[in-house]
């Protein structure tokens, strides 16, 4: 535990200007990022008597060993820089809002020639129009199913679309009128684009205009005695009425707003947001966060939530109005930043009366319910993670809690395509940006022990080389933080941090190999252990008996998550390598196809299955390919498929009864060569 007075900046050295500051620990890792209108006033508040600080702030300042800052010109610049640093360093003591579930989106792929409507989850992509998020995927699918009667746009995957384009026959949706079948030329690209535009306009809230248009068309058809057409339009109107009924009207004036409410306790905060577009509730989403900074007010929490939620958004995805429970301290800077992202004025307000205040109360009730459910499901994530790390420290007799753990796993198919994975958990959470894949080069056949030795040799040689190079460049070998910063980019080196614990997937042989390699490289002071799958035993070097942790132990649960994530990541890498090898072997016989064009094919199609579905025209469009070469490629993959299928029964997943494709994922045991699905 550090004494804040040992690193307190000297009097007068802190400027009284706006800026962003960073607290670092003894290893140079950033543990907290903050901004201030006046750096001198804000930083001075951290170095008062510890008794007067909030317990979490006490923990932060006693964990830190250094503070630095950057002066900026305006508060908006401070806001942007603070968000950039939080995103880059992921500091332990900053508030991080985590989704309480993965919410589904309704997405329309406007970046394709024939846009597709689909329901998906995860990060947004460029060129795709999103609606939502929504609470339940089934509710969106029901709505889409209703709307496809009226707006028969494409909803199939790229593979299905290309297959029916080749055979010249629409799929079932085309026959029942829920797709205009652009794959068969039933409608032109321009006509399909018009259908998509109408669909997007309807979902965006422009419902009245379209409904009135349909009513006029229905009456005109009836007047002309085109009763079948009039009946179809009537059915379409009924479908639209059903779809509209699913969205509650809350504002009659067509308000566009996001309504944000918080429910807090001393440790955590739950956030709920309702998306209101054209006066209707279009979506809902929730987050849970640890209140790592105990001094944060409701306004501070709102500000950080708005930063995290709207950063990277542009245009009308940011509403004209954001209703919040408390106004942030830097509301002017926040408003200016949001207005710049949207391209027009954005207002941040606290509703005082009327329908908006009533909706805010509803959203707040949802936030309170979310917090109660989270509490009853499990104890605070921060508390649970700390407990898990402490249990691992005690069980393995470590000098400190393992805040950074690295786990290694090997995957192969009967000794071929041997690969390894490295996954990183920091503070008990996955750090996916620091995962790494390895291709084993110096080991022949199936030898997990030798493969573990090779991977750890490469990883820790990189650590030592980076440290030596950076220390020499900075001429600061005595500075503990010198080896953590890349002198060319100024960014933190991701692998200059030594792990507090190395975990290998396996038992005593793998652990012994790991310990020997690390001692030979001079990093034998880093603890290492192995986790064997069969009995979930934890093995330490030079011990005859394993460490047995309680089955209900949070520490064992964390080690299992770490091991399983390494196993998943290794198998994913192995499947990718195997698929590419299959493509290469098929293309070996194509005359005139060199390494450059073979790599172009692999980059574009990715797997043998997708290459088999490609047409000659699609292959010929690739750079460096002509029609003759494309014909040779398509002929080669089709010939290989015919030979492989002759006299062979289809592969079946015995667990689900599903018929597998050629490059469908196999079970873990088949990949690892272990009938029990184990790699060790």
Give residue-wise pLDDT tens across range 323-337: 999 998 888 888 888
Residue 530, classed as helix, strand or coil, is strand
Torsion of CA 569, 571, 572, 576, to 10 degrees: 140
Question: pLDDT for 153-196, tens place per residue?
Answer: 999 988 899 899 888 888 888 888 889 999 988 899 999 999 89
Question: pLDDT for 258-316, tens place per residue?
Answer: 899 998 876 678 898 888 877 777 777 888 887 666 567 888 888 888 888 888 777 77
What per-residue confidence (pLDDT) applies to 261? 92
Average pLDDT over residues 537-549: 87
Residue 570, classed as helix, strand or coil, is helix
Identify which has the larger pLDDT, 375 or 218: 218
What per-residue confidence (pLDDT) applies to 473? 58
Question: pLDDT for 424-482, tens place per residue?
Answer: 998 888 888 888 888 887 777 678 888 888 889 988 888 887 777 666 655 554 555 55
User: How many CB atoms neighbour CB 370 within 10 A?
Assistant: 19
Contact criterion met (CB below 8 Å) for 553 and 564:
no
Distance (Å, whole) CA 4 – CA 66: 9
Contact criterion met (CB below 8 Å) for 527 and 553:
no
% of the chain exceeding 70 in pLDDT: 76
Which residue shows structure tokens 């493509």? 583
Contact criterion met (CB below 8 Å) for 556 and 536:
yes
Distance (Å, whole) CA 654 – CA 650: 12
> In sequence order, which residues have a C-beta less than 8 Å from that of residue 57 and are 6 or more positions away?
46, 293, 294, 295
Containing 144, the helix (H) or strand (E) segment is helix 137-150
Identify which has the larger pLDDT, 679 or 167: 167
DSSP code at position 5? G
DSSP H stretches of helix in 311-447: 331-342, 354-377, 381-396
Average pLDDT over residues 23-28: 85
% of the chain exceeding 90 in pLDDT: 8
Q: What's the distance, CA 497 to chain centroid?
A: 23
What per-residue confidence (pLDDT) applies to 569? 86
Q: Is the dihedral of CA 309, 315, 319, 321 positive or negative?
A: positive
Distance (Å, whole) CA 217 – CA 220: 5
Identify which has the larger pLDDT, 55 or 249: 55
Question: pLDDT for 584-611, tens place per residue?
Answer: 556 666 766 777 777 787 777 766 677 7
Identify which has the larger pLDDT, 150 or 504: 504
What per-residue confidence (pLDDT) applies to 663? 41
Contact criterion met (CB below 8 Å) for 63 and 31:
yes
Mean pLDDT of the chain: 77
Average pLDDT over residues 349-360: 85
Which residue shows structure tokens 């321009």? 190
Residue 501 has pLDDT above 90, yes or no: yes
């Amino acid at each position: 535990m550090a004494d804040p007075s040992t690193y307190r900046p000297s009097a007068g050295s802190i400027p009284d200007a706006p800026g962003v500051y960073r607290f670092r620990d003894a290893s140079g890792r950033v543990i907290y990022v903050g901004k201030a209108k006046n750096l001198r006033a804000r930083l001075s508040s951290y170095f008062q008597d510890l008794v007067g600080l909030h317990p979490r702030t006490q923990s932060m300042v006693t964990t830190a060993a250094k503070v630095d800052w950057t002066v900026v010109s305006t508060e908006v610049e401070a806001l942007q820089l603070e968000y950039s640093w939080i995103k880059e360093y992921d500091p332990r003591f900053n508030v991080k809002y985590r989704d309480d579930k993965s919410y589904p989106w309704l997405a329309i792929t406007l970046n394709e020639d024939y846009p597709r409507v689909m329901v998906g989850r995860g990060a947004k992509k460029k060129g795709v129009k999103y609606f939502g998020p929504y609470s339940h995927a089934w509710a969106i699918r029901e709505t889409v199913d209703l709307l496809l009667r009226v707006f028969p746009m494409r909803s199939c995957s790229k593979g299905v679309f290309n297959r029916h384009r080749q055979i010249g026959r629409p799929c079932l949706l085309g026959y029942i009128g829920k797709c205009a079948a652009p794959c068969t030329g039933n409608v032109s690209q321009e006509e399909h684009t018009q259908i998509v535009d109408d669909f997007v306009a309807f979902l965006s809230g422009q419902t009245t205009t379209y409904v009135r248009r349909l009513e006029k068309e229905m009456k005109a058809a009836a007047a002309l005695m085109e009763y079948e057409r009039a009946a179809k339009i009537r059915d379409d109107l009924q479908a639209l009425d059903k779809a509209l009924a699913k969205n509650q009207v809350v504002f009659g004036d067509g308000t566009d707003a996001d309504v944000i409410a918080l429910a807090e306790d001393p440790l955590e905060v739950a956030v709920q947001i309702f998306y209101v577009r054209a006066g209707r509730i279009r979506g809902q989403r929730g987050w849970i966060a640890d209140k790592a900074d105990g001094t944060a007010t409701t306004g501070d929490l709102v500000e950080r939530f708005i930063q995290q939620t709207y950063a990277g958004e542009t245009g009308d995805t940011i509403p004209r109005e954001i209703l919040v429970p408390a106004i942030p301290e830097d509301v002017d800077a926040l408003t200016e930043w949001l207005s710049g992202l949207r391209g027009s004025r954005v207002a941040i307000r606290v509703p005082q009366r009327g329908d908006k205040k009533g909706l805010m109360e509803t959203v707040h009730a949802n936030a309170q319910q979310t917090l109660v459910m989270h509490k009853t499901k499990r104890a605070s994530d921060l508390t649970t993670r700390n407990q898990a790390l402490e249990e691992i420290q005690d069980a393995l007799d470590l000098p400190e809690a393992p805040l950074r753990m690295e786990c290694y796993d090997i995957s192969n198919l009967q000794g071929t395509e041997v690969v390894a994975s490295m996954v990183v958990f920091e503070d008990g959470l996955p750090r996916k940006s620091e995962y790494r894949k390895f291709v084993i080069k110096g080991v022949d056949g199936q030898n997990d022990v030798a493969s573990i030795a090779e991977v750890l040799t490469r990883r820790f040689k990189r650590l030592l080389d980076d440290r030596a190079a950076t220390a020499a460049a900075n001429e600061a070998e005595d500075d503990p933080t010198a080896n953590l910063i890349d002198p060319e980019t100024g960014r933190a080196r991701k692998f200059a941090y030594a792990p507090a614990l190395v975990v290998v997937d396996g038992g005593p042989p793998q652990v012994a190999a790991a310990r020997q390699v690390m001692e030979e490289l001079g990093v034998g002071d880093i603890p290492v252990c192995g986790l064997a799958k069969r009995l979930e035993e934890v093995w330490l070097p030079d011990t005859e008996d394993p460490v047995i942790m309680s089955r209900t132990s949070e520490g064992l649960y964390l080690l299992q998550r770490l091991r399983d994530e390494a196993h998943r990541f290794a198998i994913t890498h192995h499947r990718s390598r195997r698929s590419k090898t299959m493509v290469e072997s098929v293309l070996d016989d194509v005359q005139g196809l060199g390494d450059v064009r073979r790599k172009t094919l692999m980059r574009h199609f990715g797997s043998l299955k997708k290459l088999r579905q490609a047409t000659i025209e699609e292959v010929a469009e690739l750079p460096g390919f002509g029609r003759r070469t494309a014909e040779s490629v398509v002929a080669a993959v089709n010939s290989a498929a015919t030979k492989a299928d002759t006299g062979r029964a289809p592969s079946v997943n015995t667990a689900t009864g599903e018929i597998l494709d050629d490059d469908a994922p196999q079970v873990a045991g088949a990949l690892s060569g272990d009938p029990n699905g184990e790699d060790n």
